[in-house]
Amino acid sequence: MKKSKLKFKSIIRLIVLVICGGILGVNLYTANASKLVGNQLPMPFGYGWAVVMSGSMEPAISVDDLIIVSEKTPYTVGDTVVYQQGNMLVVHRVTAIEGDMVTTQGDANNVADAPISKNTIKGTVVAVVPKVGLLVSFVRTPIGTIAIAAAAVALVELPYRKEKEKDDEERQKIIDEIKRLKDQQ
| Residue bearing the bigger pLDDT, 159 or 101 | 101
Tell me the residue ranges of DSSP E strands in the chain.
47-51, 66-70, 80-85, 88-98, 101-105, 116-117, 121-129
Domain range for 15: 2-26+141-174
Verify that 58 and 76 share a domain, yes or no: yes
Cβ 91 vs Cβ 82: under 8 Å: yes
CATH code for position 120:
2.10.109.10
Cα 41 to Cα 85, 99, 110, 146: the distances in Å are 11, 25, 26, 23
Verify that 149 and 114 share a domain, yes or no: no
pLDDT digits 0-9 by tens, 149-184: 888 788 777 777 777 788 888 888 888 888 888 888
Tell whether 133 is covered by a domain: yes
Cβ 105 vs Cβ 113: under 8 Å: yes
Tally of structural domains, the chain: 2
Verify that 120 and 156 share a domain, yes or no: no
Verify that 92 and 158 share a domain, yes or no: no
Q: Specify the pLDDT at position 132.
A: 82
Cα 21 to Cα 15: distance, rounded to the nearest angstrom: 10
Checking if the pLDDT of 27 tops 70, the result is: no
Cα 45 to Cα 10: distance, rounded to the nearest angstrom: 31
| Residue bearing the bigger pLDDT, 80 or 154 | 80
Verify that 159 and 121 share a domain, yes or no: no
Tell whether 183 is covered by a domain: no
Q: Specify the pLDDT at position 40.
A: 63
